[in-house]
């Protein structure tokens, strides 16, 4: 039988590559690796890549295997999900993978200016009601700017038409350079080893027949960012609870 939540939490407390700083303790527990992840933890000067809302950390671990010359940090607030990727990385003795358990709202407390090269957003909650909570809103772009290298890369992989459309408007409104974009990754013939990594949520959406969308864009440091003023059709399937979703037929 698999481990329960409490056992996973206990494991996480002992893991040398897991750092736990949820908002509730972040004010009281000093974090002294801001600006020195490479020197103090990874012991190299390789580029740092974050997966925000990493869940079980499929991208963090999968990319870590593919790119030993880059460092990967999975970030999420849910420790029991993160345990899966953290345990895999530990078993494989991966030296280029770490996990940070915190709220993404305070992510800029953990990284210094220019410390991060790339960000992956994998199946992030679209937060259709509140742009301030949406991980591709300008509110978050402003936070990312505080620690992303100039013209750092942001990857968005999503099932959500709302999230994808919103992000496209956000990118257009702010003239952010787009490197690549597809609304139907798996029927485009463009899937490579990187884009072929499937996350837990991704597989659920694929099983329901949804198309997976992907976008890669750069975030320059210059220019004030403006929120797009647009009305976007909501994703209907997200208003169902999980049991109803399972039987849901979705159009492609």
Ligand X SMILES: C[S@@+](CC[C@H](N)C(=O)[O-])C[C@H]1O[C@@H](n2cnc3c(N)ncnc32)[C@H](O)[C@@H]1O
Positions annotated as catalytic residues are 125
Number of residues that bind ligand X (CB under 6 A): 18
Structural contact between residues 226 and 173, judged by C-beta atoms closer than 8 angstroms: yes
The CB-of-129 to ligand X minimum distance in angstroms stands at 14
Question: Cα–Cα distance between 200 and 244 in angstroms, integer?
Answer: 19
Site string for ligand X, 195-214 (x = CB under 6 A): ----xxxx------------
Name which of 80, 75, 165 is nearest 121 in CA terms.
75
139-198 residues near ligand X, rule: CB under 6 A: none
Residues whose CB is less than 8 angstroms from the CB of residue 18 and which lie 6 or more positions away in sequence, other chains included: 12, 82, 86, 98, 99, 100, 101
User: DSSP character for 106?
Assistant: G
In whole angstroms, how far apart are CA 232 and each of 154, 163, 229?
22, 9, 10
Q: Is 44 annotated as a binding residue?
A: no
Question: Cα–Cα distance between 8 and 99 in angstroms, integer?
Answer: 14
The reply on whether position 12 binds ligand X by CB under 6 A is no
Q: Which of 63, 72, 76, 94 binds ligand X (CB under 6 A)?
A: 76
78-137 residues near ligand X, rule: CB under 6 A: 78, 81, 103-105, 122-125
The CB-of-39 to ligand X minimum distance in angstroms stands at 26
The residues of the shown chain that bind ligand X, judged by CB under 6 A, are: 53-55, 76-78, 81, 103-105, 122-125, 199-202
Task: List residues forming the annotated binding site for substrate.
Answer: 129, 159, 199-202
């Amino acid at each position: 039988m698999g481990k329960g939540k409490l056992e996973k939490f206990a494991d996480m407390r002992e893991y040398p590559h897991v750092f736990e700083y949820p908002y509730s303790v972040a004010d009281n527990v000093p974090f002294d690796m801001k600006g020195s992840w490479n020197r103090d933890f990874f012991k190299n000067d390789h580029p740092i890549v974050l997966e925000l809302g990493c869940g079980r950390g499929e991208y963090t671990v999968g990319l870590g295997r593919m790119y030993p010359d880059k460092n990967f940090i999975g970030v999420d607030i849910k420790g029991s999900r993160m345990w899966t990727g953290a345990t895999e990385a530990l078993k494989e003795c991966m030296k280029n993978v770490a996990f940070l358990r915190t709220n993404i709202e305070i992510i800029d407390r953990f990284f210094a200016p220019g410390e991060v090269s790339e960000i992956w957003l994998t199946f992030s909650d679209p937060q259709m009601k509140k742009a301030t909570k949406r991980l591709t809103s300008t509110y978050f772009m402003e936070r990312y700017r505080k620690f992303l290298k100039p013209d750092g890369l942001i990857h968005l992989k999503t099932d959500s038409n709302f999230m994808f459309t919103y992000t496209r408007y956000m990118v257009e409104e702010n003239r952010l350079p787009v490197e690549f974009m597809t609304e139907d990754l798996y029927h485009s013939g463009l899937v490579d080893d990187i884009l072929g990594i499937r996350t837990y949520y991704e597989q659920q959406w694929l099983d329901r027949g949804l198309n997976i969308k992907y976008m890669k864009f750069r975030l320059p440091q210059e220019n004030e960012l403006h929120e797009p003023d647009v009305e976007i059709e909501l994703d209907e399937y997200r208003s169902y609870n999980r049991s109803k979703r399972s039987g849901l037929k979705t159009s492609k």
